[in-house]
Every structure is written in C-alpha cells, then in structure tokens.
Amino acid sequence: MGKRIISSLPQILGFTTISPEGKFKLKKTVLNYFGFNNLQVLYLDTRNELLLTTNKIGERLSVLTNNWLILPGNAREHLQLNGKSNICFLQRQNGVAIKRYKMTVKKSKRPRIIDIESNYLVTRRVETFGDATDLLNELVSSQINFKLNFEVADYWKEKKSFSAWKVRQLLNNAEETDEELLRELIQERLSKQMDNGSWNDLVTTTAKNLKELAQLGMTNNYPQIQKAIKWLLERPQSPYNPGMFFLTDKLVAEQQAIIERRKEQKVGPKERFRKRYRSELKIINVVDELYDNACGPRIMWPNAIVLEALLEFGYEFNERVQTIIDTLTFGGWCECAYQHGPRRRKRTEPLTMKEIDKFEEQTLFEYKNGGLDNFKLLIMQPTWRHLMRLSYKKKGDKVEYSLRMPTHTQGCEVITTSALSKVTNEKLWRLAESHLWRFVVALYNAYNNPLGMDELIKYSLSPYTFLKVFSKYDTTAARLGILLSLPWIIKNQNEDGTWGNHSTKESATLAVVSALKNIEFI
C-alpha cells in the first residue's frame, strides 16, 4: 500500500513504564478512551497483538486500586521486557493496544519523525538535519536546477507605487522615470506628516513612513526625519517595559492600571494586559498587509516596528533605544511573557553571555532535530495531542507512520528578529541570529507537513513573512531558509510573475524578490 493521509489513523493515547513483572498504571487518556473514569475488569486479547478490551475476549484481568494492571507471563514474553521498560497505548476500534516503545535517532539529510510499528513494538525514529554547512553547499550547488516559471519584472513596468520602485531597484531594472518617481514618493509621504512629526499619531504608521523614506534615500539630517524621530522617542514609557514602544500612549497607562489591580487581587484568575482587539490588529496591518493577525499587537509588534526604523537611521546608541536593548536581552520575546514586564518572569537581570551561549546551542538542537526542543517530548506527548500521525505506508510486516513535526509559531519572536538585523549589540545580535535557526525548521516543517502551514498562517507567519526576515540577514541560517524555500517559491508564483493574493501581492513579491536577491538567484 502506498503512502496515504488519513484523519482517522490510530494515534498513541499515552506512554507509561512497566515493571519486569508486568505491572503498570492505566493512563487517564486510556480510561477516557474506554469511556470510564474507573474500570474493574478488562480482557486481554493476544491473537494478533496485546489488545485491552471491555469485550469478553481473551484472558480476564482485574484492575487493581488506582487503576494498576498486571500483564500475564505470555504477554510479558511478547513484549520482551528487559528490566523497567516503556510502553505505549494505541487506539483500536475495539479497545487499546499495548506495545513496547523505544526511540532511535538517525542522521539524515532532512528531518522527520516516524513510528515504525510491529505487533508488539513501536520504534519512534527521529531523522535529523545533517551538517548545516554541508547542506548549504549542497543547496547552493542545486540552485542551477531551479528557475522561475514567469518573468518577475514585467508586472512592475511603469507602475508608480513604492513597491514597484523597490522591486525595480532590487532587479537592477530601473526605468528612466524612476528618479522622478522617487521624488514623488518622498513628497507623497512628507505631505501626510502631521505638525507634531508623526503620521496619524501612531508609532507604527510613523515608523513605516520613516523606514520607507530611508529606503528612498532620506537620512536623519533632514528636519522632517528628526521631527518624526523626536516624536517617537517622546512617547510614554512603562516602568514595567522600560524603553519599549506600545501601540498607543493610552495602553501604557492601561497596563500599569491592570498590573496594580493584579497586585491587589488575592484569589481567582487575574486580568491580563495582553488582548487582541480587531481595531488594534488593523493598526498593525496598515504597516504591512502580511501582518493581518499579529499575535502581540500591544507591545512586541509595535516595539519591533519602531525599533527597526530607529536602527535604520542609526539611533542604536540613543538612550531610549539602549534601554529597549537592555529590556529585550531578558529574552523570551513573546507578548505573553512581556505583557506585565519581563521581570515578572522571575528574572531580575538580562541574560548573561553564558545563558546566550546555551540558547544558541538550544536553537541549533531544535534545527537539527526538526523542531524538537528535547527528546522527552517524544514520550510525554500523546500523538493525538501534538505529534499527530498524518500518513502511513506498509513495509512488509511493519507499518510506518509519519508524524506531524513541531511548529514554532511565536510571531513576536519573528517580528523582533526582523527588527534587529542592523543591531550591533552583541547580546541582542546573537539572540536574533539564534532565532533564525528556529524559523528555518518551522518553515521547512510547514512545507512538508499538511497541518504546519495552517498553524503558521494563523498569526501572520506565512512563508512571505519568514522570507522577509531571512532577506535581511547574511547568515548560514538565513540562506538555508531561503534555499529550502525555493521549490515553494517557484510553485507559488502567479502567472503575472508576482506572489501572494490580491491583498498581499506587493508585500509578498517584495519579500520573495528580496530573499532571492540574498542568495543571488536573481
């Protein structure tokens, strides 16, 4: 039988240990599968495998106090128990199968996780990425085997948008009117600047315009730029997130009020600052149509958007920006972790260089092992909850099940890393560079697992968002992320030479062209 994808494949309900005498405890998930909170009697059918059932088939087993069970001698022989062993419970139509469980790790060119299942044994095999440098060299050499299906430049001819101008610059395909267009684009943006220096009194929209003006050639010598940056730097700060930019000034006060109420509350679930109102999400979406559902719209996304603009204009050593850098070096760039201040996470100091070394090692481990942050996950998580079996194929008397790979979906980490490509602070640069390894494997898994892409897109993490980030970095991880995306890029090009749908076409195409420029593909 060939490889198939089935929604009703038998999943692993859980894991436990079994003694040499065959004693083990029934997991709660197993009891729930039978439809009972407690069982007094089960039957063991040993005709094809070890099948626990409530049907009166096979040997009668008494369930002991606290749901302990003891397998008879013939069942223990089938499992080939050797000391204390691991077993797993698998879904069956008429009960639950018990099999011995073990795990192996195998070097491979590409990561995947498979369950190799026989009558009495499940071997979970982790196949890992090979050496990153070797893989990079292999992918660089294979670039000559790829070509785009449609010409990119044609769609952008004579168009007058910022994206059109930018794409033509990236393709070294400037038109005679582009110098005039550049002046028009600058004037169009400056004409909408408010007297206070902002655009629409929004930090995100102001940062968007500043970044575009920087790409159009304006520097911080211009008074309009200085005025906009001054307005940004004067925005209120929260004592709980020193230096960081919030989506609106009002939210700074709101956060402090919520934290004070949390301090006074003694019982019950506490109010959280992190919220995702549609009105606030729309403000982020104005910055880039790819950002249609930001996961952290109140602190982490606006802070990253503004920080990137300030770094673009060389403001890294501004006092407030240095304060942001100190705050971000607490790590864990998720709005859930920062919503009440990073120091709420039982830390009083930023990460040390030793801790950053450890974080780098961790993200490289995750990359190598297909997104797994530790091997314990393989025996702690039932497949129906996390590492779901997605497809199978028969090989002789065994069945191989391909598992859903872990998907890293923290958009706050992605947007923050995107902002830091020009930072010179060693700690923050190393944290950003390390995150790229996570993004490479998250995107690779999404390309190769049916459910992965849906999880990424949920919080504005389409491949275009990742490619946009990779295009900003000249590192092995960034180039790997782009090269591994080549088949997807070619497959998803529109017939007019662009990428994305009607609402995301300009940003998506800019992201792809920038990424392909990074690896000298175009």
Question: Interior CA angle at 76 toward 72 and 78, to 5°?
Answer: 120
Position 141 in a domain: no
Position 438 in a domain: yes
Residue 418 sits in the same domain as residue 334: yes
Here the CATH number for the domain that contains residue 47 is 3.40.1550
Residue 83 sits in the same domain as residue 166: no
The model's pTM is 0.91
Residue 327 sits in the same domain as residue 397: no
Here the CATH number for the domain that contains residue 316 is 1.50.10
- C-beta of residue 400 within 8 angstroms of C-beta of residue 3: no
Question: E strands along 356-414, which residues?
Answer: 389-395, 398-403
Residue 154 sits in the same domain as residue 197: yes
The residue type at 235: R
Residue 259 sits in the same domain as residue 386: no
Range of the domain at 341: 146-368+407-518
User: What pLDDT does 408 receive?
Assistant: 74
Position 138 in a domain: no
Considering its fold, how many domains does the chain have in total?
A: 2
Residue 164 sits in the same domain as residue 113: no
For 10-51, the DSSP string reads: PPEEEEEEE-TT-EEE--HHHHHHHT-S--SEEEEE-SSSEE
Position 140 in a domain: no
- C-beta of residue 144 within 8 angstroms of C-beta of residue 379: no
Residue 337 sits in the same domain as residue 381: no
Residue 44 sits in the same domain as residue 190: no
Residue 92 sits in the same domain as residue 207: no
Residue 124 sits in the same domain as residue 218: no
Position 378 in a domain: yes
Residue 326 sits in the same domain as residue 453: yes
Coil/strand/helix, residue 164: helix
Position 139 in a domain: no
Per-residue pLDDT of the chain (522 residues; tens, 9 = 90+): 334 444 579 999 999 999 999 999 998 889 999 988 778 999 999 999 999 999 999 999 999 999 999 999 999 999 998 889 999 999 999 899 999 999 999 988 889 999 999 999 999 999 999 899 999 999 999 999 999 999 999 999 999 999 999 999 999 999 999 999 999 999 999 999 999 999 999 999 999 999 999 999 999 999 999 999 999 999 999 999 999 999 999 999 999 999 999 999 999 999 999 999 999 999 999 999 999 999 999 999 999 999 999 999 999 999 999 999 999 999 999 999 999 998 655 677 889 999 999 999 999 999 999 998 888 777 766 665 668 898 999 999 999 999 988 877 789 999 999 999 999 999 999 999 999 999 999 999 999 886 778 888 888 899 999 999 999 999 999 999 999 999 999 999 999 999 999 999 999 999 999 999 999 999
Residue 235 sits in the same domain as residue 104: no
Position 210 in a domain: yes
Q: How many other C-beta atoms can be found within 10 angstroms of the C-beta atom of residue 492?
A: 14
